[in-house]
Amino acid sequence: MWSVQLGRRDGRVSLATEISGNLPSPFANFTSLVQLFKGKGLNVNDLVVLSGAHTLGDSRCGAFSRRLYNFTSKGDADPSLDPTYAKILRKKCPNPASPAITVEMDPGSSLSFDNHYYDILLQKKGLFVSDAALLTDKNSNKIVTRLQRSRSLFFTAFAKSMKKMAAIGVLTGNAGEIRQNCRVVNPG
């Protein structure tokens, strides 16, 4: 799909507190997402393309349960979520949300890297508020539709956006370290 640069330097410290403001929240609206991506040198196309990574994996119920229960403080579900799908999700994720329960982010295709995420998005079955937000803007909605229609376009665009994202905040010189094991800071 794309070549990954090797020998990159990693920081010597990793703090959970640094996540906020650096990774998109599943609760983010379109404006917040665009601002976060723009602050990293990414654009709306990158936002929509990289959101396609939600085609893989699962999510804990707590990351989206607000969409199912009391979304507008009236005990209701998010009106931008397909009502039938909301019922299915409520059965899987009773209120209050259990941290042990997970749901596929891309139902029926969560183990395959493909453009199926955009199919479910257009069916109003995106799991997160941040997924549904991609349909609230005319330009991003057009991008979703184009990616839904062409798997090869999605693959090409994803590789391009991943390379662009990989160039954010690259450490050089003596900053950071080249890790012996990418999951842990080097000893000493």
Token digits of residue 110: 């969560």
Cis peptide before 24 (omega within 30 of 0): no
φ, ψ of residue 172 to 5 degrees: the values are -135, 170
Residue 166 one-letter amino acid: A
Is 54 among the annotated ligand-binding positions? yes
Neighbours of 15 (CB within 10 A): 7
**CB–CB of 99/62 below 8 Å?**
yes
CA triple 21-27-30, angle to 5 deg:
80
Q: Does the annotation list 96 as a binding residue?
A: no
Q: Euclidean distance between the first and final Cα of the chain, in Å?
A: 36
Q: Is 116 among the annotated ligand-binding positions?
A: no
Whole-number Å distance between alpha carbons of 30 and 36? 10
Single out the residue of 104, 9, 18 nearest to residue 57, CA to CA. Answer: 104
Q: H/E element holding 60?
A: strand 58-60
156 among annotated binding-site residues: no
Which residues are annotated binding-site positions? 24, 54-55, 106, 114
Which residues are annotated binding-site positions for Ca(2+)? 55, 106, 114
Which residues are annotated binding-site positions for substrate? 24
Which residues are annotated binding-site positions for heme b? 54
